[in-house]
Amino acid sequence: MNDDLKLHTRIEVSEGVLLLHYRVENLAQRDVYLLNRVPNRALEANPDIVYVELLRDQKLVAVSKKIPAIPPGMNPTMPIAPYVTAVRAGESFTETVRLPLPVHEYREYEEVQETGHTATYRAIQFTLAYYWSVAGMQERKQQIVPGVEVLIPQPPPGTQISVQELQGPVQSVEIAVFEPMATGGR
């Protein structure tokens, strides 16, 4: 884990909802941008929209807020990336994700499968993508769709941003999931 950026997670299951509490501490002398505002297909974002992958062989629910992988054979004209939250130098950010039970898989670029069954998984892990501010970074706010204003960091021309990931520990907890019918290769 990065010494300047700490991820703390806590999981609860309460009244038919999985609660994933996370906190990011920025101990660095520069700002960091969390890729934590995952948009839905209408480009809206709220804390409860996350990518969920069920790792069947491990009975693990992998929850993430990051740039989603593009499935083999797909070539979208514009890859999807989450909107960002700035965490200023020396500050922290806290958020709670609420997922109704059973938890459903959600992956960008793929259709939701309607057929399957309920199963019990035994663990969960949270991954959060981020990138650091660079010298000369500018920020602007823009309304993407009515009612959704986002922060858009702009690095100086020619400057590349390195997206990295924080990964929380695997936490043991029984979670009801909706396990779709297996398809080829999964």
- Strand-strand pairing, 116-132 and 60-65: parallel
pLDDT digits (tens, 9 = 90+) for 140-160: 999 988 888 899 999 999 999
Q: How far apart are CA 53 and CA 149, in angstroms?
A: 28
Give the mean pLDDT of the chain.
92
DSSP string, 86-105: EE-TT-EEEEEEEEESSEE-
DSSP assignment string, 105-149: -B-TTSPPP--EEEEEEEEEEEEEEEEE--TT-EEEEEEEETTEE
Tell me how far the alpha carbon of residue 162 is from its chain's centroid. Answer: 17
Q: pLDDT tens for residues 97-126?
A: 999 999 999 988 887 778 899 999 999 999
Rounded distance, CA 186 to CA 40, Å? 24
How far apart are the two ends of the chain, measured CA to CA in Å? 29
Q: Evaluate if residue 1 carries a pLDDT over 60.
A: no
Q: Name the burial class of residue 94, with classes exposed (0-12), middle (13-18) and buried (19+) by CB atoms within 10 angstroms of its CB.
A: exposed
The model's confidence at residue 20, banded by pLDDT at 50, 70 and 90, is very high
User: What residues does each domain of the chain span?
Assistant: 5-180
d(CA 121, CA 135): 44
User: Residue 93 is encoded by which pair of tokens?
Assistant: 């950010």
